[in-house]
Amino acid sequence: MTSVSGPDADGERRIVSDTAGVVVLGACATWSLVTAAVHDGRPEGVLLAVLAVAAGYAAGRIGGALLPVGAPFAGALAGIALTVAVPHLAPGPQITAPLGHAGATAAVLTLSVGAACCAAWSTPVRSARFALRLLATGTAVLAAVLGSASGFAACLAVLLCSLAAGRIRRPGAGTAALAAVAVLVTALVWAVAARAVPGGFAAALEGRLTPHRVRLWQDAWHLLGDDTLLGAGPGRFGELSTTSAQSLLSDDKPHSAPLQQAAEQGIVGVALLAAVFGWVLYALWRGPRPAPVALTAGAALTALAAIAAVGNALSFTAVTVGAGLLAGMATARPLADESSSRTGRGRTRGAGRAAAW
């Protein structure tokens, strides 16, 4: 029996991961329509998010294949420019109470750091690599200047993980560690919502998260209990949450992506959200790019998952598109690699025919 290796194996792995992505994203869109039909919900937000991720992923695959260094570099610059230029993404007096849009700022800057570090690992030029890492460091400083403590922490974590990625010999173990971090953060959020955290620790967390956010999480937990399978329907959290109804500045969201899925689409929605994250990590792990690129992108997307678990970052189209772009660029096979592999196969076949004659 012969085993498939080389470019053919890479092609088969890409087909498997791409098929899995289509199935998972399609299931997310379909389930939102099902739950909306049952409970008279509004699935437009979910459908837009699915479309944004898919479009960003496709664009990232194309850009990463054509410009493996230039595309993530341009993406990093675009994220920084968007954060500075668009007021809605920067924390300030007009959006601080009670929750604000700081999660979106942290998410965009975190993705920008991940893109810059991926570009750094993709270039063989040392001076360019240093400049790109300097850009990533500057982005973390920008997060601190804008007052986004969570953004600064996430950017710094991604930068450190990227520097350590070059020394990791088992990418699979690194990917598993990233998945474990996302699971732990989500489990902590669920424990707070279910009031399963010890009193002293719960009080400390409530001081950091704000009591208003914690009450929103508890409302989401109660809605999940009312209909565990289907939830309350997409877009209906605001009208069913007591805390949201009593707040004049509410955005009708529980400020936690897993809890919003649970409240509005039931346990199946949570499973589908986890499947999307698992698919992205699998695509990075089995992708054709070097391990440091894949682990750097995985670290940025894990940081995004942590930010989304305690905020409303995924409610912003810029964030979902950016996540898809980063994942696509980090899983794209550069055309230069494909052409060189084809040339190598052609030379091997030619040498084989010459030897036969």
Q: And the tokens for 309?
A: 């678990």
What is the distance between the alpha carbons of residues 7 and 236, in angstroms, rounded to a whole number? 48
Q: What is the pLDDT of residue 246?
A: 81
Domain ranges within the chain, ordered by starting residue? 8-337
What is the distance between the alpha carbons of residues 63 and 347, in angstroms, rounded to a whole number? 29
Give the CA-trace dihedral at 292, 294, 296, 301, to 10 degrees: -170
Confidence of residue 341 (pLDDT cuts 50, 70, 90): low
Q: Is the pLDDT of residue 348 over 50?
A: no
Which of 76-80, 199-203, 303-307 has the lowest average pLDDT?
A: 199-203
Coil vs helix vs strand at 229: coil
φ/ψ (deg, to 5) at 97: -100, 130
Which of 3-12, 91-100, 132-141, 175-184 has the lowest average pLDDT?
A: 91-100
Distances (CA, A) of 330 to 29, 72, 113: 24, 9, 13
Closest CA to 323 of 67, 110, 26: 110
pLDDT for 214-258, tens place per residue?
999 999 999 999 999 999 999 999 889 988 888 766 678 899 999
pTM of the full structure: 0.90
**Cβ atoms 297, 170 nearer than 8 A:** no
Give the CA-trace dihedral at 330, 331, 334, 337, to 10 degrees: 120
Q: What is the pLDDT of residue 14?
A: 76
